[in-house]
Amino acid sequence: MKVLVLNGPNLNLLGLREPHLYGSATYADLERFVAETARRLGVDVEMRQTNHEGTLVDWIQQARGVFDAIVLNAAAYTHTSVAVLDAIKAVKARVVEVHLTDPKTREEFRRVSYVGMAAERTFAGLGFGSYAAALEHLAGGGTD
């Protein structure tokens, strides 16, 4: 299985950004964690991060026919981007939404997820474990 792991705005600042919410681990730590989890599961992953909505949309579109699934942490675009939602719907890819924190326990505006409207599953509030849960879900055929 080949999975594209996409991360949206400000995730490059992990370890610096709101450590009381996101902890002290860095984006490089997340990359290592995802790579180790994928290796353990026998999944090939490619991981990317962007602060630009259009780039995220382009990557979702380009995944069609190249990747078996997408693990997507659209970050702030989760709550604002109809363009990301439309890209997911257009490519008809398996998409699993992830979040380090649980948006449902945060500000009211974070409780709407455009990504979740098209994703087959969401894992949130587990820190890096949200990514592991998503990869395990996909590697297991999505039966859990």
Q: In what order do the strands lie in the sheet with 69-73?
A: 44-49, 2-7, 69-73, 94-99, 121-124
Host H or E run for residue 124? strand 121-124
Instruction: Report the predicted TM-score, pTM, of the whole model to 2 decimal places.
Output: 0.92
> How distant, in Å, are the alpha carbons of 90, 109, 115, 128 from that of 131?
24, 23, 15, 6
Active site residue 27: no
Parallel, antiparallel or unpaired: strands 121-124 and 94-99: parallel
Taking only the tens place, the pLDDT of each residue in 16-72 is 887 777 677 999 999 999 999 999 999 999 999 999 999 999 999 999 999 999 999
Active site residue 131: no
CATH architecture of 2-139: 3-Layer(aba) Sandwich (3.40)
Rg, the chain, Cα only: 14
pLDDT at 143 exceeding the cut of 60:
no
**Domain map of the chain by residue range?**
2-139
Per annotation, catalytic residue among 27, 52, 77, 99: 99
- Helix intervals (H) in the chain: 19-22, 27-41, 53-62, 82-91, 129-139
Torsion, CA 124, CA 125, CA 131, CA 137, rounded to 10? -50
Q: Is the CB of residue 78 less than 8 Å from the CB of residue 41?
A: no
Q: How far apart are the first and last CA of the chain?
A: 17
Cross-strand bridge partners of residue 123 = 98
Taking only the tens place, the pLDDT of each residue in 84-108 is 999 999 998 899 999 998 878 777 8
Q: Is the CB of residue 106 less than 8 Å from the CB of residue 22?
A: no
pLDDT at 110 exceeding the cut of 90:
no
Taking only the tens place, the pLDDT of each residue in 112-121 is 899 999 999 9
Give residue 20's pLDDT. Answer: 77
